Amino acid sequence: METALNAGTRGNAWTRRLRLYFKALLLQEEAYTEVLQSSSPRKEGLRLLAVLFLTVGVVVSLGLVFDALTLPRINTLQASVDNFVFGSALYQQWSAGAATGVLLFNTLYGLFWFALRLEIGYPTTSDVLWGPLSMLALGVFRWFTFAVFGEWVGRKLGGVAQPHAFWAALALAAAPALLRMFTILPGLYVPSSLLLAWLALTSYQAVRATYPNLSWRRCLAVELWMFALHFICIMLAIVLGVVLGVVVYQLLF
């Protein structure tokens, strides 16, 4: 009896948080009222993200399975391009004299095909698992950087709010990820530009709801700084990753 009651309570909490996400997706400002009153905003933010990305992840995985069953494979196209590029005399000559450049080219070449599969929607077997997991990892990383930078800038500009309340509101602002559920339809994908534009709207609402004493201009400034610093972190991570890869390669070979 107690186990059934606990399961029912968890189910109600899951449904309640999903309803909040759908309200946030429809740009309803009252969606943020409840999460801003949480006694543990960061924990509530993690719970919200878990509900969102587990739900969306299951649907996206099903969509990838349907795509794999119905869409032509991109592996054939990649194999043809691989034979042309890596079998060319120019590449063979270049690889013999510029090992560092070839390593960088191969890395970018592999990233190109990975991004092409994700953007166009051509899945592989591993994508069914790693696609949702990468979406979760990137979502949590974005939430963390947005929250740290947004809260810091918001307070610098005079924003007043409960400590770390912005973390919960910002987790709810990830609602545009729900649009990825449309990818359950074979061949359908959601443009990244649409997700980014919608995220900009929900993120602004999160800033506005957390810091109601700020003017709309200052709320917009908080959001712009938040996005800018987040993308700077991504670029630094990419550059440092490439540099580290080159250094390791040179030490080993």
CB 113 within 8 A of CB 79: no
Report the range of poorest mean pLDDT among 3-12, 38-47, 177-186: 3-12
Residue pLDDT, tens place only, 52-100: 999 998 898 888 888 777 766 667 777 888 888 888 888 777 777 766 7
| Mean pLDDT on 196-215 | 94
Q: Put residue 73 in one of left, alpha, beta given phi > 0 → left and psi -120 to 50 → alpha.
A: beta
pLDDT of residue 8: 47
pLDDT of residue 88: 83
- Looking at residue 79, what DSSP letter applies? H
Of 28-32, 87-91, 104-108, 130-134, give the range with the top mean pLDDT.
Answer: 28-32
Token readout for 53 is 């990305």
* Sign of the four-CA dihedral 162, 166, 172, 173: positive
Q: Return the pLDDT at 6.
A: 47
Q: Which of these, 203, 155, 162, 172, lies nearest to 32 by C-alpha position?
A: 172
Round to whole Å and give the CA distance between 24 and 28: 5
Reduced to 3 states (helix: H, G, I; strand: E, B; else coil), residue 30 is: coil
Rounded to two decimals, what is the model's pTM? 0.72
Mention every residue, 6+ apart, whose C-beta is less than 8 A from residue 99.
249, 250, 253
Maximum average pLDDT range among 73-77, 130-134, 222-226, 230-234: 222-226
